[in-house]
A and B are shown apart, each in its own frame.
Chain A
Amino acid sequence: MKQADIKQAAEALFNEQHNPFGAFSLGSETHQAVTIPDAVRRCRWISVDINASAFGLFFVSPSPERARLVPCFDSDYPGIAVATKFISGANGEEIVRHTGNSTAPRWWADDGTAAMSETFSGLAWAEQMAPLAPGTSGIAFPVHAERGQCGLVVFLGSEITISQDTLYEIHARCFSLFAAVARIRPGDTGKTRAISKRELECLKLTANGNTSEEIARLLKLSVHTANQYLTQSTQKLNAVNRNQAVAKALRLGLIE
């Protein structure tokens, strides 16, 4: 690449990241963050843009019984920040419930100054809540991904600058960040041995309520073979039985 090209590319990148007057910007983050460090970097860009001092991304565990916030990463990555421990602890209960029913951002101001509370209360749609971590101020964005995964992106700081316009933009970027993270998070996808087309077909038919006998008839196989395919796919998905295999395959997007 020539010097001039590099300069131009850098400028383009800079403009895209910092265009206070530009149209709706999704930042320069691509949608294909492939690793957690990539995602941390993307989240750091967002946090720089609103002048936050710390951030964290959480998953809302799907278990309805013990719904809680599971930390994925925060600004101390690969370590874990103290605030994260507070948020994923007992302080998170209310926001977990909120995330399940609503997409509206929530903020809190508990850093002893009036500045943050003034900034946040000027925002339409954002609601106040009890502090997620004591002695801090921050804003939390509920996010949702493709397969029903639920999460929360939190920004903390005493000098956060956010306007009504940037609120939408930041939330949109949190959504796309979470979509990328939700895709990589299942972790074991890389490790799962390739599932064959036939095995997926059998799984799909099972998901549609067919029994092994019916699958055998539909695919012109013996019942034994159909069962064998299902057992293999269950093993490959690291599931304990068919029900879990179907659930996993759906959540991973292997079948529709």
Chain B
Amino acid sequence: MSSPAALLQSDTLGSRLTSRGDLTSFFMQLTEEIGADSYMLVAIVHDQDRNDARIVSSNWIFDAIELIGKRLIAGLAQGALTAAPGFRPKPLVAARAPNAESLVSAEEARLLDVLGHAEIYSLRLNVGRQRLFALFSAAAAGQIDQSALMKAQLKCCYALSHIPQLIAAAAMQDPLSDRERECLFWVSEGKTTDEVAVILGVSSNTVNSYITHAIQKFAASNRAMAIATAIRSGII
């Protein structure tokens, strides 16, 4: 068994996380520990029909982000190779792309390779109900230690749990107030306005106004779409 004092520097850094700066040093440390060169922490924002990546923290060079583009980053972050905690991660190897999953085209793969992302792992991070994605990449394929990576995935979840406000602000995934979320939840359970009013003990006009606000905040065209958007982003 491993010795009780098997604390790595990322463990100590991460459990004392309070600010943006701490987040950066935590990720830098973690990246080094798993043998990777770069990291990127991404939140996915649902914008109408398509997804957009919001980068929370990253040590990718600016030009790499610009050249590859947010759309592709969003695709990489939540693509078919993305591993949830507890699942064995599979890397996107630029040299072997375009592959069956066809996440990237030949040209995009070449770009990634040249920019030092020959191998990219995408990990899903769960921070309570919030969902983020971490990309760890290395300049040479096979450089990242897979078993360290799986530990790193949980460390990221734990560390981000320490700074929920910071993450929520960055991700802006949940624009709803508690009441609006509650109303939308009951509507998604098939309740009518009048029924929701009884459940929450408010008037049906109030319920309607909460729901209208929720619809507006999601820029949805009706209730069904607001519900779909909320479920897709894991809010209800």
Contacts and interface: CB of A to CB of B under 8 A. Distances in A.
Contacts of B4: 122, 163-164
Given A171-B85, A174-B86, A247-B188, A24 B7 contact: no
A62 B85 contact: no
A40 B201 CA distance: 40
B157 interface: yes
A188 interface: no
B185 A207 contact: no
A150 interface: yes
Contacts of B14: 124-125
Given A148-B236, A179-B86, A243 B190 contact: yes
A175 interface: yes
Interface string B59-87: 00000000000000000000000001111
A65 B127 contact: no
Interface residues of A, number: 58
B interface, size bucket: 35 or more
A181 B150 CA distance: 21
Contact of A246 (B7, B49, B84, B227): B227
Given A103-B126, A244-B190, A124 B15 contact: yes
Contacts, number: 163
Contacts of A63: 185
Contacts of A247: 188-190, 227-228, 231
Contacts of A166: 2
B222 A209 contact: yes
Interface stretch (A82-90, A216-224, A234-242): A234-242
B151 A168 contact: yes
B6 interface: yes
A49 B177 CA distance: 42
Given A65-B200, A171-B154, A242-B224, A103 B161 contact: yes
B182 A64 contact: yes
A214 to B, nearest CB: 9
A144 B129 contact: yes
A144 to B, nearest CB: 4
22 contacts: A62-B236, A64-B185, A65-B182, A65-B200, A101-B164, A103-B126, A103-B154, A104-B161, A124-B15, A148-B231, A165-B6, A174-B86, A175-B84, A175-B86, A175-B87, A179-B84, A208-B225, A209-B220, A209-B228, A240-B190, A243-B223, A246-B224
Complex A-B, nearest 3 residue pairs according to Cβ-Cβ distance, in ascending order: A244-B190, A209-B225, A175-B86
